[in-house]
């Protein structure tokens, strides 16, 4: 997979999160805000990668750091554990894809 393909996937995923977070988490404003913020991060990351494909060599670090932060969240916030573990697995997948695209 090439850097532009990973960036396009980031953009699609981020756009989907932004577009659906409020409707999926209607009753949970906090979750909707988190989903929207995460979606915006993916879109921004995709834009940076598309503008400068050589930046992909650093983008995997952002995803890896997100994954590590989600593992930390599981330790301190049991309420968020399921979402944090899902986020960590997702971030690991993104980090792997970006690292391979270098």
Tens of pLDDT along the chain (102 residues) come to: 688 888 899 899 999 999 998 887 788 888 888 889 989 999 999 999 888 877 777 888 989 999 999 999 999 999 889 989 999 999 999 999 888 886
Task: Please report, to the nearest 10 degrees, the dihedral formed by the alpha carbons of residues 100, 48, 58, 10 taken in order.
Answer: -40
Residue 102: its pLDDT value, please?
A: 67
Mutual angle of helices 56-76 and 29-51, in 10-degree steps: 160
- Report the predicted TM-score, pTM, of the whole model to 2 decimal places: 0.83
Residue 40 has a pLDDT of 94
Task: Please state the length of the chain.
Answer: 102
20 burial via Cβ count (<10 Å: 0-12, 13-18, 19+): middle
Dihedral Cα 45, 8, 88, 26, nearest 10 deg: 90
Of 69, 62, 65, 63, residue with least CA distance to 85: 69
Q: What is the pLDDT of residues 16-33, one digit of tens each?
A: 999 998 887 788 888 888
């Amino acid at each position: 997979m090439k850097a532009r393909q990973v960036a396009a996937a980031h953009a699609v995923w981020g756009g989907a999160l932004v577009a659906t977070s409020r409707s999926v988490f209607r009753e949970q404003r906090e979750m909707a805000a988190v989903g929207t913020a995460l979606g915006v991060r993916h879109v921004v990351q995709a834009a940076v990668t598309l503008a400068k494909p050589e930046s992909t060599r650093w983008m995997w670090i952002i995803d890896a750091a997100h994954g590590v932060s989600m593992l930390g969240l599981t330790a301190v916030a049991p309420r968020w554990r399921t979402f944090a573990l899902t986020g960590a697995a997702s971030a690991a997948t993104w980090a792997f894809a970006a690292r391979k695209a270098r």
